[in-house]
């Protein structure tokens, strides 16, 4: 009996050690809102996803390999919660495997590109909502007819990320193999500095498209936390041949007790050829009330003004060249 108890105790210690060295996390976000979007003279009322944060279901795991080395994976897929359709639960938001240590992190798979991380990171809205700047810089207008498929994420990517102990300096380099698919061959880097109330970064990227032409991006952004408010700004430029699309944005987040007020103004400027008059400007406000650390209620309004042949929208529906697109709504977001 004593031997049996001893064996069980030893086995239990091994199981405990193994579980301490590895972990698996299930996580996600459910975000739903009721909205009204007007494009020109047409109004669409709908229940939408992703207006405060993008819906997702994900799994991530870490294993301690010893000697300061860890292996990890991250699988994350989007969901359409208004219909309950998980889209086959394909992990297109992120699907990566990593090896990390004192040298930093080497990450393989599908992930956000550096050229998206800077403007999205220095927008009070992130990349969601009627007034977020990605309505401009990831639009068809900003793609400049290049056929690039790397405005937000890229497949088949190898990334290197600097370690986190460099006194506030951070950065990464990413290379994506095209594998014979036009518009998927990508190379980009990002470097930044974050310490105290200050955060700033810049980055460059090239995507090889048809006839070996390059779709090029350059962006720079920063934020400053005043305590009573956090201020954000970015400059993002996309080039393809003689065409250019530039987005500027200023935004702010103001904490108000359990809530936060946000406001943003951005402008998209098209240059080159017949596109020069196709500009757009975007303004919006948003209020978030946190019921808990995981659950929030929110309401928002945004208005996008198109010029020339620009026909961008803040939400659902087809844009009308040279006219406004506006939207308002209320929603709830829960994270787990």
More confident: 12 or 287: 287
Determine the Cα–Cα distance for residues 285 and 303; give it in Å rounded to an integer.
Answer: 10
- What local confidence, expressed as pLDDT, does residue 15 receive? 43
Q: Specify whether the CB–CB gap between 306 and 30 falls below 8 A.
A: no
Domains in the chain and their CATH numbers?
A: 27-335 (2.40.160.10)
Determine the Cα–Cα distance for residues 321 and 246; give it in Å rounded to an integer.
Answer: 19
Which residues touch 256 (CB under 8 Å, ≥6 apart)? none
Quick one: average pLDDT of 315-326?
Answer: 95
Quick one: average pLDDT of 185-212?
Answer: 94
- What local confidence, expressed as pLDDT, does residue 137 receive? 97
More confident: 72 or 13: 72
Determine the Cα–Cα distance for residues 59 and 124; give it in Å rounded to an integer.
Answer: 27
- What local confidence, expressed as pLDDT, does residue 88 receive? 62
180: left (phi over 0), alpha (psi -120 to 50) or beta: left
* CA-wise closest residue to 22 among 77, 76, 75, 60: 60
Quick one: average pLDDT of 155-170?
Answer: 97
* CA-wise closest residue to 317 among 93, 77, 97, 39: 39
12 pLDDT higher than 60: no
pLDDT band at 89, cuts 50/70/90?
Answer: confident
Determine the Cα–Cα distance for residues 287 and 297; give it in Å rounded to an integer.
Answer: 8
Torsion of CA 120, 175, 142, 50, to 10 degrees: -40
231 pLDDT higher than 80: yes
Sign for the CA dihedral angle at 33, 34, 38, 44 comes to positive
Structure tokens at 189: 């880097």
pLDDT band at 11, cuts 50/70/90?
Answer: very low
2 pLDDT higher than 90: no
Quick one: average pLDDT of 54-83?
Answer: 95
102 pLDDT higher than 90: yes
Average pLDDT over the chain reads 92
- What local confidence, expressed as pLDDT, does residue 129 receive? 97
Structure tokens at 92: 């297109």
Quick one: average pLDDT of 1-18?
Answer: 43
Q: Specify whether the CB–CB gap between 281 and 264 falls below 8 A.
A: no
* CA-wise closest residue to 247 among 122, 108, 134: 134
pLDDT band at 5, cuts 50/70/90?
Answer: very low
Number of residues assigned to the chain: 336
Secondary structure class of 127 (helix, strand, coil): coil
Instruction: Give me the half-sphere count of Cα atoms (radius 13 Å) on the Cβ side of residue 100.
Output: 17
| Beta-carbon count within 10 A of 294 CB | 11
Of all helices (H) and strands (E), which one includes residue 18? helix 2-21
Q: What percent of the chain has pLDDT over 70?
A: 93
Determine the Cα–Cα distance for residues 290 and 45; give it in Å rounded to an integer.
Answer: 25
Burial class, 12, CB count within 10 angstroms (exposed 0-12 / middle 13-18 / buried 19+) = exposed
Structure tokens at 262: 């946000």
Q: What is the pLDDT of residues 135-150, one digit of tens each?
A: 999 999 999 999 999 9
Of all helices (H) and strands (E), which one includes residue 142? helix 140-143
Q: What is the pLDDT of residues 269-286, one digit of tens each?
A: 999 987 778 999 999 999
Kindly list the distances between the CA atom of residue 219 and the CA atoms of 41, 120, 127, in Å, as whole numbers in the listed order.
35, 11, 15
Strands 22-39 and 42-49: antiparallel
More confident: 9 or 85: 85
Burial class, 88, CB count within 10 angstroms (exposed 0-12 / middle 13-18 / buried 19+) = exposed
Q: Which of 82-91, 116-125, 134-143, 322-331 has the lowest mean pLDDT?
A: 82-91
Q: Which of 15-19, 100-104, 293-297 has the lowest mean pLDDT?
A: 15-19
Give the distance from CA 120 to its chain's centroid.
Answer: 6
């Amino acid at each position: 009996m004593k031997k049996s108890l001893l064996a069980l105790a030893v086995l239990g210690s091994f199981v405990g050690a193994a579980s301490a060295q590895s972990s698996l996390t299930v996580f996600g976000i459910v975000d739903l809102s009721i909205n009204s979007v007007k494009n020109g003279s047409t109004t669409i009322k709908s229940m939408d996803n992703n207006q405060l944060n993008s819906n997702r279901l994900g799994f991530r795991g870490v294993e301690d390999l010893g000697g300061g080395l860890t292996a990890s994976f991250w699988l994350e897929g989007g969901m359409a919660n208004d219909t309950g359709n998980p889209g086959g639960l394909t992990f297109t938001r992120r699907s990566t495997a990593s090896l990390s240590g004192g040298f930093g992190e080497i990450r393989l798979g599908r992930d956000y590109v550096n050229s998206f991380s800077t403007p999205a990171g220095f927008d009070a809205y992130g990349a969601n909502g009627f007034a977020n700047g990605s309505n401009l810089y990831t639009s068809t207008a900003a793609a400049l007819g290049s056929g690039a498929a790397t405005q937000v994420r890229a497949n088949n990517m190898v990334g290197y990320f600097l370690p986190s102990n460099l006194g506030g300096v951070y950065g990464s380099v990413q290379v994506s193999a095209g594998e014979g698919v036009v518009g998927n061959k990508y190379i980009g880097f990002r470097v930044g500095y974050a310490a105290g109330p200050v955060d700033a970064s810049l980055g460059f990227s090239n995507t090889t498209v048809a006839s070996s032409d390059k779709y090029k991006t350059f962006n720079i952004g920063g934020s400053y936390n005043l305590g009573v408010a956090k201020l954000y700004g970015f400059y993002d430029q996309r080039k393809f041949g003689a065409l250019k699309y530039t987005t500027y944005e200023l935004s702010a987040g103001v904490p108000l007790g359990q809530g936060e007020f946000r406001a943003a103004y951005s402008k998209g400027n098209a240059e080159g050829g017949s596109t020069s008059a196709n500009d757009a400007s975007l303004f919006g406000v948003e209020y978030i009330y946190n019921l808990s650390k995981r659950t929030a209620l929110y309401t928002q309004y945004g208005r996008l003004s198109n010029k020339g042949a620009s026909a961008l929208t803040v939400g659902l529906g087809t844009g009308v060249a040279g006219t406004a697109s506006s939207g308002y709504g209320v929603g709830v977001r829960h994270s787990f």
